Structure 1
C-alpha cells in the first residue's frame, strides 16, 4: 500500500513539474512608440514624418503629413512596403550590414524580408555607412514584408551588434 501511495505521489510531482516546465512566461511586449521629426517638403511647406521606434536612436518611417496632421499608417501582413530607416549614434556603430530579425508573438523567429532596389528579397542589407538625413546621423531605405499579423519584435543589427529593437503591431490584410 505504501508503494502505491508513494508511486501516486511521484506521478503527481512529475505531472506537476512537467506542466510548469512547459509553461513559458510570455514576455510582455509593448508596441514601440511613434515620434515625429520635422521636414520641409519640396514645395517649401512644413511637415512631419512619423517614425516608430526609439526617439534619438532608431526608427523607421510609417507616415507623413502636414505639420500637426501627420498620421502613422498601418503595417499590413503579407504586403511589402518601402520604409526609410533612421539611425542616431556614433559613426563606428554604422559599420556593417543591416539585418532585421523578427520574432512573432508566438516566439517564432523569422527572417523579416528586406527588399533591395532590384526587388530581390534578402534578410541583410549592404553596408549602411554615414548618410545624414532629416536630423538622423544616417538613414537607409528598404522594403519590408511581414508574413503574419500580430505583434512582432524586430531585433535590428548593424554588423554583429544589436543596435535596437522595435515592436510593431502588424494588421491583417
Structure 2
C-alpha cells in the first residue's frame, strides 16, 4: 500500500510537468502581437482604417461603423507574406460586454489599391462599443486592432 502511495505521489507531478511542457506556446502574448488602436491612413486614393502598412479596410473619416447595420468593406493587407488564396478571418470581442463574434470569413485575393492583397467583405457588428478585432491569415494571428462601433 505504501509503495503504491509513493508511486502515485511521484507519478502525478511527473504527468503535470509533461502536460505543462507540451503546451504549444502560441498565445497572443507569446506571439508578440498587441492590440493597436485603429487609425485612418491613405492608401492610393482611399482612406482606410487600421494599422498602416499592415492591415486596414476602406472607410472614410466622416463615416462610422454602426451596430446592426451590415455594410460592405474592402480589407487590405501589406507584408512580405504570400497572401493569395489563403483563408482570411476576423474575430471580434466587444470590450464593453465581452461578446465574441466572427466578423469576416473569406478567401484572400491578389494585390489592389497599393496593398499586397485585398478581401471584399460584409461586416456587421451586433452591438455598440469598442471592438478588438483579431485578423487571421491562413489560420495564424496576423494583427489586432481596436475600432469604435456606434
Q: What TM-score, normalized to structure 1? A: 0.61
Q: 1:118-169 CA distances to partner (integer Å, 9 max, x unpaired)?
A: xxxxxx21x314x111110111110100000010010010122111112110
Mapping of residues 69-88 of structure 1, within 5 Å: 71-88=61-78
- SS of alignment partner, residue 89 of structure 1: coil
CA RMSD of aligned residues (A): 2.0
1:112 and 1:146 in contact (8 A); partners too:
no
Decide which structure has greater strand share: 1
- Displacement of 1:107 in angstroms is 6.0
> Following superposition, which runs of at least 4 residues in structure 1 exceed 6 angstroms of deviation?
none
1:33 and 1:52 map into 2 onto residues whose CA distance is 5
1:52 and 1:166 in contact (8 A); partners too:
no
1:157 and 1:106 map into 2 onto residues whose CA distance is 22
1:170 and 1:30 map into 2 onto residues whose CA distance is 16
- How many residue pairs end up in the alignment? 116
| Residue in structure 2 matching 1:134, options 113, 119, 124 | 113
Q: Which position in structure 2 is the counterpart of 1:145?
A: 124
Q: Which position in structure 2 is the counterpart of 1:35?
A: 41
Q: 1:17-52 CA distances to partner (integer Å, 9 max, x unpaired)?
A: xxxxxxxxxxxx77311111232xxxxxxxxx1111
Mind listing any 5+ residue stretches in structure 1 that lack a counterpart? Answer: 1-28, 40-48, 64-70, 115-123
Q: Which position in structure 1 is the counterpart of 2:145?
A: 166
Q: Which moved more, 1:85-94 or 1:148-157?
A: 85-94
Q: 1:98 to 1:30 in 2, by over 3 A?
A: closer
Mind listing any 5+ residue stretches in structure 2 that lack a counterpart? Answer: 1-34
Q: What TM-score, normalized to structure 2? A: 0.69
Structure ID, larger Rg: 1
1:58 paired to 2:55: yes
